[in-house]
Amino acid sequence: MQQEVVLAMLAKEPTHGYELRARLRQALGPVGEELNAGQVYVTLARLEKAGLVVSAAAPGVSERPDRKVYELTADGQQRVAAWLAEVDWPRPDLAEFHLKLIAAFAARLADPLAIVDAQRRELLRRLRDAQRAALAEADTSDAALLLEGIVLRLQADLRWLEACERTWTNRRSRS
Amino acid sequence: MGRLLLIWRLALRDLRHRPVQAVLLLLAITAATSTLTLGLALNGVTSGPYLRTAAATNGPDVAASVLPSGPNGTQAPDLAALAPLASAAGVTAASGPFPVAFATLRAHGHAVPVQAQGRDLAPAAVDQPLVTAGTWVQAGGVVLERTFAQALGVTVGGTVTLDSRPFRVVGLAVTAAVPEYPGVCYYMTCNSPTGQAEESGMGLVWLTAASARGLATSASPLSYVLNLRLRDPATAAAFAAAHGPAGLTGPQSASGLGLLTRQEVQYADNDLVSVAQQVLAPGSWIAIALAVASVAVLAGGRMAEQTRRVGRLKAAGGSPSLIAAILLAEHLVIAMVAAAAGLGIGWLVAPALSSGGTGLIGSPGVPALAPGAVGLVVAVALGVTLAATLVPVVRAARTSTVRALADSARPPRRRVLLVAVSAWLPAPLLIGARLVARRQRRAVLTAASTAITVMGVVAVMAAHRATDIATARFNWFAGLPDPVFGRVSQVMAVLTVVLVALSAVNVIITGWATAVDARQPSALTRALGGTRGQVSAGLSLAQVLPALPGAVAGLPLGVLLFAAANGTGQVLVPPASWLAVLLLGTLAAVAALTFIPSLLTARTAVAPLLRAETT
Amino acid sequence: MTLLCARGLRKTYGRGDALVRAVDEVSLDVEAGETVAIMGPSGCGKSTLLHLLGGLDHPDAGTVVLAGRHVDQLGERGLARMRRDAVGFVFQAFHLMDELTAVENVELPALLAGRSPRAARRRAVALLSQTGLADRANFLPSALSGGQRQRVAVARALVNDPVIVLADEPTGNLDSAATLEVLRLFDDLHQGGQTLVIVTHDSRIAATADRLITMRDGAFIDETRLDGGTAGSLARLAGLDG
């Protein structure tokens, strides 16, 4: 769980632990269901150790993390502001697959086309799951937007796999 | 120079790219120009024939005749009355006096009263009739006036009898001294052997003087005619008033003298041909209206594509003047070819109409087209094509390039009622009605064209009926067909053929435009389950449906046209059976002209049609 | 039950050097209630194949049996009847009549089939509400968005209760939001037991099909059923590292 995400969710006002988790669940929809429940609190503890967040337990309430109230420090707020202004995009992962195909072909360990096909089928299955989940959501939910993003990224990857298939077919027929 | 070449190349490329459209446009404009040429040629023929004949025959300015006088017209005329005229003041030349006998000519089962003039072999100084076939008078031979001969059905080499005496027909001739058959007695300066003035139907023949004298009897003595040329032809009326009896059309004066001026003969001749002109004038307008309608449909059909083309040229950097030049060059080619073709066709067809039936010099061989007429035809061809070009150019010049490029054909309009009603009709009518709803202006044009055609044909029918009635009622011409009406009938027949041909061209063009326009919806309808036959029937009905009210409206309009066009304001309704046949025939023709081609050209596979995008 | 059975279909265009094998010895079986997706690069002949299956074009060789009828042997009338009753077509360019409202567009095949105008109208209205366009029934296509237009086209394809719906790149002209609308519609149809054959290069649609066939240069090169679970979770796909 990205630390900055949790920080940002505290930016508006001090929040209870369980409230924070509920907000995250709502924003992620089915995607968030697979999240480990305790992951959020682990992140909060790390943030506290780094001095970006302070927690306080309500008087007369136990020290369980979900009942504590968390709040941003000045450092935390600065961090949030800086993070919001960042434009760095998540890192793509293409080089690994590309090299996998080349290595398989060079060492004659496997047929690159078979690898591409297998990967393509896997991605299609994931696309199917993501699409089904998207269809089940109401159009206006936040989760729907997230699922659309997943779908579109998978589509882009599949297009690249189709290009890989075309290129490797030609390469094989030439050799 | 390079620019001109570019313009030329682009223009020709476009013509080659769409040959069908170019050919159809050519057809429509040629129809207009040939009709115009025909009309002008015939007009030229019918308006000045007297003058041509008078010039060719040395026609007289005044023809003086003395007829037998006395109670039964049996007293020989007084030649002395003619003598002083030849030397009267203002007379420059004279011929005659020639003897004239009245006889009965029999030929081909007809018996017709005729004037037989006795002439010398040597040409006369004034009024030497022009021989158009055969030779001049010979012993034992007779020369007939041309129109009279045609009405009789007599040709050179045949035999006729005059008062039971046989004569060989040696020639046919025309003259300007006497109004042509059947107007010989237009001014009642005739006399018959029985003493009653023949109103009309008298023929004119020429014999040798000896033969003419031989025909005279005690009951029917000779008359004499003297032809005079004046120094100033305009004074002929004054001359006639000074030397002749008071009142020309009254019965013969005491001396039996009668004077006939050239102006009066001209008037009589023109009166006879003006009937033909009365028919020709409205007929030509109708024909031109039809031709213009065809061009309008074509221009409208090309509009969208032209607009897009202009947009593309603009996007490629063409200035408005360059674009106009390209479009103009393209249409210039079509216009010039159409003008030339129209002139040629009119030139060739006109003699067939004008030579038959005119006793006056109409057109021996080739009619002379005045340079003015040629110029008019070319101007009309140019004008029509310019109109077809100008509109898209102006439109494109006004819209922005982007809009012009995106501009597909005019989006079809929506007629709620028609769409709702058509749901209840069987499939072909459903398709046809909705196609009509898509392009209403074209439907209106179709209705108008059909109305115009039917109107013209009905007017012709009414005229035919009128002549039938007149002929049946007044058997004036001793059983011979009235050549005036004959000529008129000929003109009307030609007009009908032209109208029908133009109308057919119009239907074909509109049908083609509709089919092209309806390619997408037709393909879609077939993809949704319509059969090829249903779609073709729908396309055909899209023309028949607007044609129906047009044809029905044309019926009363035609009756009105005839009433307005004929001088007497007579209202005549052709027989109901004729009208019914015309109505059904028109609709059947429209259906056939559109259904058969669309069925033949409909491809079996629907997919290729749908693959073409709408742009 | 096999609804559609095609064997050895062939369709070529051009001659000599310009010969194009649009469809090259293709055989296909479609069961009732199945959704089959055919994917491939543009120009691989998938649209041509669909036209052959639906009777919009004649194959040069091969047979097509649809609902027990030999499509390739049908004459013009028979094909028209088949297009009316047995097959519903959805096109990439929608191909709606511009001058008719949505409901008039939908009822058109029923009118062509000879149904009474009232019955046709009723069915059209019902279908439009099924596709969620009841309030747009009297709108002209120019007043509808791309996704709405395609949904009208789908409703039109269904008006005569076809045994099979053939869709040719149904989302080709649509943006991703409109694609979702149409996807949802196809999903509903699939749940309702409608047999669908969809030609598409949109992997989203292909992923939700029962069978996915890949086509290239006129021939089928791959056929998969996307059964089984996935190795990854949605969370990982979203960038959440669990």
Q: pLDDT tens, B552-607?
A: 999 998 888 888 776 666 778 888 888 899 999 989 988 888 887 777 666 656 66
Among candidate residues A38, A65, A85, the one where a domain is terminated: A85
Cβ neighbourhood burial of A14 (10 Å; 0-12, 13-18, 19+): middle
Q: In which domain, by residue range, is B545 found?
A: 414-615
In Å, how far are A93, A115, A155 from A98, measured between CA atoms? 9, 11, 18
| Type of residue found at B444 | V
Q: What is the crossing angle of helices A112-136 and A142-174, to 10°? A: 160
Nearest CA to C147 out of B230, A23, A139 is that of A139
Beta-carbon separation of C107 and B604 below 8 A: no
A73, A105: one domain: no
Q: Please say if the pLDDT value at position B277 is more than 80.
A: no
Average pLDDT rounded to a whole number, residues A102-124: 83
CB contact under 8 A, A121 and C226: yes
What's A66's domain CATH number? Answer: 1.10.10.10
CB B131 within 8 A of CB B171: yes
Band of residue C167 on the pLDDT scale cut at 50, 70, 90:
very high
What secondary structure letter does DSSP report for A139?
T
Tell whether A74 and A125 lie within a shared domain: no
How many domains, chain C? 1
Angle at B8 between CA B5 and CA B11, to 5 degrees: 150
Is there a domain that residue B520 lies in?
Answer: yes
Handedness of CA B360, B361, B364, B367 (dihedral sign): negative
Tokens of B426: 């069987």
d(CA B359, CA B133): 12
pLDDT of B278 reads 65
Domain that holds residue A125: 94-174
| Range C180-209 average pLDDT | 90
Domain interval for residue C127: 33-59+73-225
Please give, rounded to a whole number of angstroms, the shortest distance from the CA of C183 to a CA of chain A: 8
Q: C228 — contact with chain A (CB < 8 Å)?
A: yes
Does some domain include residue C212? yes
- Using the 3D structure, point to which of A58, A85, A112 is the last residue of a domain: A85
| B243 vs B239: CA distance, rounded Å | 6
| Higher local confidence (pLDDT), C51 or B242 | C51
The amino acid present at B386, given as its one-letter code, is L
Which residue out of C95, C121, C169 would a mutagenesis test of the B interface target, given it has the greatest number of B Cβ atoms within 10 Å? C95
Tokens 């591409």: give the residue: A116
Nearest Cα to Cα of residue B546 among B419, B424, B439: B439
Residue of A32, A124, A147 with shortest CB distance to C212? A124
- Per DSSP, C60 falls in state S
Percent of chain A with pLDDT over 90: 2
Percent of chain B past pLDDT 90, that is, above it, reads 6
Of the candidate ranges B272-276, B278-282, B360-364, C94-98, the one whose mean pLDDT is the lowest: B360-364
Which pLDDT band, with edges at 50, 70 and 90, does B360 fall under?
very low
The per-residue pLDDT for B361 is: 44
Residues A68, A135, single domain; the answer is no
Q: Provide, as residue numbers in chain B, all residues whose Cβ is less than 8 Å from the Cβ of C76.
A: 531-533, 604
Interhelix angle B2-17/B320-354, nearest 10 degrees: 60
Q: Which is nearest to B512 in space by CA: B123, B31, B126, B18?
A: B18
How far apart are the CA of C45 and the nearest CA of chain B, in angstroms?
A: 13
Q: What is the mean pLDDT of chain B?
A: 77
Triad B481, B482, B488: Cα angle to 5°: 115
* Boundary of a domain, candidates B221, B241, B268: B268
**A81 and A98 share a domain?**
no
Closest residue by Cα to residue B593 from B511, B519, B516: B511
pLDDT higher than 80, residue B394: no
Q: What average pLDDT does the segment C73-82 reach?
A: 83
- What is the arithmetic mean of pLDDT over A117-129? 87
What integer is the mean pLDDT of B505-523? 80
CA angle B554, B556, B557 (to 5 degrees): 55
| B223: contact with C, CB 8 A cutoff | no
The torsion angles phi and psi of B310, rounded to 5 degrees, stand at -60, -40
Residue C12 in any domain: the answer is no
Confidence at residue B181, expressed as pLDDT on a 0 to 100 scale: 75
In a domain, B593, yes or no: yes
Rg (C-alpha) for chain B, rounded Å, is 32
Instruction: Check residues C123 and B280 and name the one with the higher pLDDT.
Output: C123
> Judging by beta carbons within 10 Å of its beta carbon (0-12, 13-18, 19+), is residue C84 exposed, middle or buried?
buried
- Model confidence at C152: pLDDT above 90: yes
Residue C15 falls inside a structural domain: no
Cα–Cα distance, B365 to B348 (Å, whole number): 10
Q: How many domains does chain A have?
A: 2
Say how many CB pairs under 8 Å bridge B and C: 84
Same domain, A80 and A111: no
Task: Name the band, by pLDDT with cuts 50, 70 and 90, for residue B4.
Answer: confident
Q: What is residue C165's predicted lDDT score, i.e. its pLDDT?
A: 95
Residue B515 within a domain = yes
On whether residue B4 sits in a domain, the answer given is: no
Express each pLDDT in B322-341 by its tens digit: 777 777 787 788 888 888 99
Residue B361, domain member (yes or no):
no
Q: Are B268 and B175 in contact (CB under 8 A)?
A: no
Give residue for tokens 């001088």: B567
> Per residue in B453-511, pLDDT tens?
888 888 888 877 877 776 666 555 555 666 666 666 777 777 788 778 878 878 887 88
- Shortest Cα–Cα distance, C122 to chain A (Å): 29
Token reading at A101: 């195909």
Q: How much is the pLDDT for B279? A: 67
Q: How far apart are the C-alpha atoms of B446 and B297, rounded to whole Å?
A: 9
Looking at residue B406, its pLDDT comes to 60
Tens digits of residue pLDDT in B401-440: 666 666 555 566 677 888 888 888 888 888 888 888 888 8
Counted residue by residue, chain C has a size of 242
C237 belongs to a structural domain: no
Residue C26 pLDDT grade (very low, low, confident, very high; cuts 50, 70, 90)? very high
Distance CA B203, CA A142 (A): 109
* E runs forming strands in chain A: 15-16, 53-56, 69-72
pLDDT beyond 90 at C199 = yes
The per-residue pLDDT for range B336-358, each reduced to its tens digit, is 888 899 888 877 777 666 554 44
Chain B contact present for C111, CB below 8 A: yes
Residue where one domain finishes, among candidates A62, A85, A108: A85
- Of residues B539 and B277, more confidence is placed in B539
pLDDT score of B367: 53
pLDDT band at residue B362 under the 50/70/90 scheme:
very low
pLDDT confidence band for B8 (50 / 70 / 90): confident
Counting runs of H as helices and runs of E as strands, what totals does chain B give? Answer: 19, 10
A46 vs C contacts (CB less than 8 Å): none
Predicted confidence band of residue B13 (pLDDT cuts 50, 70, 90): confident
| ipTM here | 0.81
Confidence of residue B614 (pLDDT cuts 50, 70, 90): very low
Question: Hunting for tokens 């409202």 — which residue is that?
Answer: C101
pLDDT category of residue B365 using cuts at 50, 70 and 90: very low
A8 lies in the same domain as A79: yes
Query: Taking residues C20-38, what's their average pLDDT?
Result: 91
- Based on the fold, state whether residues A106 and A170 are members of the same structural domain: yes
Same domain membership, residue A125 and residue A53: no
Is residue C8 within 8 A of residue C61, CB to CB? The reply is yes
Could you give the count of Cα atoms lying within 13 Å of A75 in the half-sphere of its Cβ?
8
Query: Residue C238 and residue A154: Cβ atoms within 8 Å?
Result: no
CATH code, domain carrying C118? 3.40.50.300
CA distance A52 to A6: 11
Nearest to B33 by CA among B387, B378, B509: B378
Domain contains C10: no
Contact between C82 and C55 (Cβ < 8 Å): yes
Token digits for B308? 């897009």
> Which residues lie below 8 Å from residue B532, measured CB to CB, with a gap of 6+?
B526, B599, B602, B604, C76, C80
Residue C43 lies in a domain: yes
In whole angstroms, give the CA distance from residue B36 to residue B374. 10
Residues A110 and A158 in one domain: yes
Q: How many separate domains does chain B show?
A: 2
Structure confidence at residue B176 (pLDDT): 86
Kindly state whether residue C232 falls inside one of the protein's structural domains: no
Q: Flag the least confident range among B354-368, B514-528, C31-45, C219-233.
A: B354-368
Helices (H) and strands (E) in chain C, counts: 8, 10
